Amino acid sequence: MPNPHSAAMLQLNDVSKSFGPVVALRSVNLEAHAGSIHALVGENGAGKSTLVKIVAGVHRRDGGDFVLDGQPQDFGSTAESKTAGVAVIYQEPTLFPDLSVTENIFMGRQILGRGRRIDKAAMYAEAERLFAGLGVHIDPRRPALGLSIADQQIIEIAKAISLDAKVLIMDEPTAALSGVEVERLFTVARQLRDEGRAVVFISHRFDEVFALCDTVTVMRDGSYIATRPIAETRIGEIVNLMVGREVADLFPKQETEVGDVVLDVAGLTSPGVFHDVSFSVRRGEIVGLAGLVGAGRSEIARAVFGVDRYAAGTVTMKGRPVPTASPHAAIRSGMAFIPEDRRQQGLVTDGSVAENIAAVIRQHLTKGGLLTRAAENKAVTPWASRLEVKTSSLDAPARTMSGGNQQKVVIAKWLASEPDLLIIDEPTRGIDVGTKSEVHRLLSELAGQGMAILMISSELPEVLGMADRVLVVCEGRLTAELSRDEATPERVMHAATASQEMAS
Amino acid sequence: MTSETQPAVDLDEGTALLVEPSAMPRRERILKTLLHSRELSIAIALLVVIAAATIKSPDFVFSATGWRNLLLTPAMMLLLAVGQAVVIITRNVDLSVGSVLGLSAWLTGELFIAHPGIPWIVGFGAGLLAGAVLGLVNGVLVGYGKVPALVITLGTLYIFRGIVLTWAGSSIISASQMPDGFLNLGTAQILTIPVLFIIAMIIVVAVGYFLQTARSGRELYAIGSDPDAAVLYGLPVRRRVIGAFVLSGALAGLAGVVYAARYGTVSSDAGTGIELQAVAAAVVGGVAIFGGSGTVWGASIGAVLLVTINSALPMVGISDFWQQALVGALIIAAIILDRVLAARQARKLIEARDEQ
């Protein structure tokens, strides 16, 4: 158990950070003690990663106090934070694949022997000793290439120990680990705690937070919400603190007439990615696909739309089977797919608004094989005005627009093809709060006009506020199907972490 | 998972070398690593080429001239290939070395004309220094410009060559204008080994030793292996990359002096097009074009191989066209081999993970 009298090793007070006009952190407090494991929880976009990057020296804070082991700090580089005793273990560690495990641990501060030459034998012996101390077996001479994520994290931890780090931050380390690997990581984390280091543990999985940590700090929308000793709280309270608002007010969801089945997916399987996924989407219905990042939601959507192949199962649109691995066939069957990363996958950023919106329907606009600017503008104008895309003219390049307006151009592009089913991945990621509700209103209207919508979202309030039905994905499997009335934050979160709890 | 302490008995030998090298006895490990190395296979290829040429015409090796040329001709390319290898290891490329060589060769010639009495060592120093300065220009542009080295050094290739053209015009520095002591170096031998070859080999060994045993040397590999990770590690990425370009420039400058000493005449087009041979030598010698792996030993054997092929093929009776095509095929084969081996190694390592 942590010693309540120990001094705070890491102390953040009222820390704030903005990226241009976007406020990432408003005011954050965090106090991590030596000999303790401190959980940091919050929804996606709550600002946890920004906070980690400030402590790690990747970003510089705009305001507030940052005290490490009694010393005020202001890191300008990762090298400075490392020297001061901060180590960060990322969800997917960044190692040098070509170099040996030992070189990865000691890069930049290799043990030197005679004449300032690197002493390889001493380094191998030291790596051997570090791994033995952690109770793991990794050959110090092997290359880092091909190590599992769990082993890569162990390398990072070994590096942190050899640096004698005082503060270890683990940023969602368990997201990609199997049950056994999580147990091994926990053993190591407890060992680090008992050695008197301060460990900050970021996770979405409440069972892990409650099993491992002794204190928990909740963040929401870039702000500090509360800190509780684990012994005096329960999952329900933490979830309420995390979500923290009445979701119904924020999302003006229209009541709609739910019609015939548009999309029917049965037994969709892609080994190692998702298994036996079956669901349907009806006309006029918004179906939310919820789950943790990396649970396989986007992969399911990409398979349905024919971007990725799948091994087994069927996709049926309006009663007709859709062939696998052909986005072209999917579009012809009436699907539209708006990917998460719209700048890279959904938008030609150097093209004009009109060119972007006309992209999908261009074939129908040609006369004798020729495409005129006039024909394009004529076909596009109703869609742009319907979505209230704010740009000075249709000729403006898409890259000059705000994130919200870009998203609307991408939506307009697909609406111009008049689809029956719209699959949209993270509709409001990277969009400011004001424009968010506009996108929500638009989706709601489209459903009201009879479109079937499959919406993937990591933001719990968005899913709960917008969806008529919620499907929860956990580790590639559908673990719950909840109606609008049944869907509560607790039930969704529970289903999203379901198999983890079964495993442990 | 590799949490249990057990030797990987069910792995085949190649995989065991990758996954569990420490489980092998030291001597066996060193022997196996050597047998699997790219340096050994390229060295064997070199010996085959030399043997084939020698069988056809014994003079290729067993005559005073043949022996001297065999060692003397690659000296210049050795220097360029070593510098190029260091730059490529950092995931960059230096295309300006041919122009640096030309500029340095001309500068050395002008220096001897202006000050006929100076010792030859000053010529070497001047060439080395001029090359280092030009390399610094490349390094600073790449380090601060955030533009790929390919583009930067393609630009400086033309700029540096432009300087030589403006300076030299159509004139030629001939052997008679350079001191005899300097020109004698081009043919001088110690125990039948040409002095210029010895100089090149000293450089190869020094740079190779530095890359293996100095912190900054290992950091070059780390930067090339994953530049983003290198920043997160807090490595001085920019300084190291600039350092690699300075080294490449300095060696190209030295190669310019070697050029002047060896051929005795310098014109404005000295070293034109040689940069691609230097890149080819490094790649054939096993330096991964995307950085992070390879050695200067491999690059220097690659340099000798490319140069020797050019003089050996006419002996065996292969026409000019096929010489060029053969060198091209060698480069493509080397890159494909790299890809295939890397993919196979990655697959073995990942499969080994599942077996445990």
Chain B stretch 108-167, residues whose beta carbon is closer than 8 A to a beta carbon of chain A: none
DSSP secondary structure string, A221-270?
Answer: TTEEEEEEEGGG--HHHHHHHHH-S-HHHH--PPP----SEEEEEEEEEE
A79 Cβ under 8 Å from any chain B Cβ: yes
Encode pLDDT of A129-175 as tens digits: 888 888 888 889 988 888 887 888 889 888 888 888 899 999 888 87
Alpha helices per DSSP H over A34-174: 48-56, 78-84, 101-106, 120-134, 149-162
Which residues on chain B are in Cβ contact (under 8 Å) with A128? 22
**CB of B97 within 8 A of CB of B278?**
yes
* Euclidean distance between CA atoms A69 and A198, whole angstroms: 10
Give the closest of B213, B234, B353 to A82, CB-based. B234
Chain B stretch 234-253, residues whose beta carbon is closer than 8 A to a beta carbon of chain A: 234-235
Chain B stretch 260-299, residues whose beta carbon is closer than 8 A to a beta carbon of chain A: 288, 292-293
Mean pLDDT of chain B: 87
B25 Cβ under 8 Å from any chain A Cβ: no
Q: Which residue of A has its CA nearest to B354?
A: A148
* Euclidean distance between CA atoms B24 and A194, whole angstroms: 35
Half-sphere exposure of residue B81, counting CA atoms within 13 Å on the CB side?
Answer: 33
Higher pLDDT, A172 or B10: A172
Q: Which residue of B has its CA nearest to A57?
A: B232
Query: Which neighbouring-strand residues pair with B312?
Result: none
**Confidence tier at B245 by pLDDT (50, 70, 90):** very high
- Per-residue pLDDT at B87 exceeds 90: yes
A141 Cβ under 8 Å from any chain B Cβ: yes
Q: Which residue of B has its CA nearest to A82?
A: B234
* Contact: B221, A151; criterion CB under 8 Å: no
* pLDDT in single tens digits along all 504 residues of chain A: 444 445 688 989 999 888 776 678 888 899 999 999 999 988 766 788 888 889 988 888 888 899 888 888 888 888 888 888 898 888 777 899 889 999 999 988 888 888 888 898 999 999 998 888 888 888 899 888 888 878 888 898 888 888 888 999 998 888 767 777 888 889 989 998 998 899 999 987 777 888 899 999 998 878 898 899 998 888 778 877 877 654 445 566 777 778 889 999 999 998 878 889 999 999 999 999 988 777 888 889 999 998 888 888 999 999 899 888 888 888 889 898 888 776 666 677 677 777 777 776 666 666 666 777 777 777 777 777 766 665 556 677 776 666 667 777 777 777 777 889 999 988 877 665 556 777 888 888 888 888 899 999 877 778 888 899 999 998 888 989 998 888 887 788 788 876 544 443
* Euclidean distance between CA atoms B289 and B336, whole angstroms: 11
* Distance to chain A for B153, nearest Cα, Å: 26
- Name the pairing type of β-strands A274-282 and A261-270: antiparallel
Mean pLDDT of chain A: 82
* Contact: A143, B232; criterion CB under 8 Å: no
Dihedral sign for Cα atoms in the order B99, B100, B106, B107 = positive
Which residues on chain B are in Cβ contact (under 8 Å) with A139? 19-23
**CB of A24 within 8 A of CB of A30?**
no
A97 Cβ under 8 Å from any chain B Cβ: yes
Which residues on chain B are in Cβ contact (under 8 Å) with A82? 234
DSSP secondary structure string, B28-67?
Answer: HHHHHHHHT-HHHHHHHHHHHHHHHHHHH-GGGTSSHHHH
B215 Cβ under 8 Å from any chain A Cβ: yes
* Contact: A148, B1; criterion CB under 8 Å: yes
- Name the pairing type of β-strands A335-338 and A421-425: parallel
* Euclidean distance between CA atoms A24 and A15, whole angstroms: 11
* Distance to chain A for B348, nearest Cα, Å: 8
Dihedral sign for Cα atoms in the order B191, B193, B196, B199 = negative
Encode pLDDT of B316-349 as tens digits: 788 878 888 888 888 888 888 878 887 888 777 7
> Across the A/B interface, how many CB contacts are shorter than 8 Å?
113
Contacts of A467 (CB under 8 A, 6+ apart): A286, A287, A288, A455, A484, A487
* Euclidean distance between CA atoms A68 and A55, whole angstroms: 9
* Euclidean distance between CA atoms B98 and B157, whole angstroms: 7
Reading across the β-sheet that carries A22-33, which strands appear in turn? A71-72, A63-68, A8-19, A22-33, A223-229, A215-220, A36-41, A198-202, A167-171, A86-89
Which one, of B226, B60, B244, lies nearest residue A104 by Cα? Answer: B226
Contacts of A113 (CB under 8 A, 6+ apart): A119, A122
**Confidence tier at B7 by pLDDT (50, 70, 90):** very low
pLDDT at A19: 77
The count of other CB atoms within 10 Å of the CB of residue A211 is: 13
Which residues on chain B are in Cβ contact (under 8 Å) with A138? 2
Encode pLDDT of A246-296 as tens digits: 444 556 677 777 888 999 999 999 887 888 999 999 999 999 998 877 788
Residue type, B290: F
Determine which of B17, B88, B225 to mutate to test the interface with A (most A C-beta atoms within 10 Å).
Answer: B225
Residue B310 sits at the vertex; the CA angle it makes with B306 and B314, to the nearest 5 degrees, is 150
The position carrying tokens 């918004």 is A286
Encode pLDDT of B150-202 as tens digits: 999 999 999 999 999 999 888 888 888 888 888 888 888 888 889 999 999 99
Which one, of A313, A276, A288, A326, lies nearest residue A423 by Cα? Answer: A288
* Contact: A118, B3; criterion CB under 8 Å: no
The count of other CB atoms within 10 Å of the CB of residue A332 is: 12
* Distance to chain A for B293, nearest Cα, Å: 6
* Contact: B228, A145; criterion CB under 8 Å: no
* Contact: B225, A98; criterion CB under 8 Å: yes
| B184 three-state secondary structure | helix
B231 Cβ under 8 Å from any chain A Cβ: yes
The token pair at A24 is: 């990432």
Determine which of B4, B32, B232, B238 to mutate to test the interface with A (most A C-beta atoms within 10 Å).
Answer: B232
- Report all structural domains of chain B as residue ranges with CATH numbers, in order of start: 49-338 (1.10.3470)
Which one, of B335, B336, B331, B311, lies nearest residue B323 by Cα? Answer: B311
Residue type, A455: M
**CB of A66 within 8 A of CB of A24?**
no
* Euclidean distance between CA atoms A312 and A315, whole angstroms: 10
**CB of B298 within 8 A of CB of B78?**
no
The token pair at A32 is: 């991590």
What is the distance between the terminal CA atoms of chain A, rounded to a whole angstrom? 22
* Euclidean distance between CA atoms A368 and A335, whole angstroms: 27
B219 Cβ under 8 Å from any chain A Cβ: yes
**CB of A447 within 8 A of CB of A254?**
yes
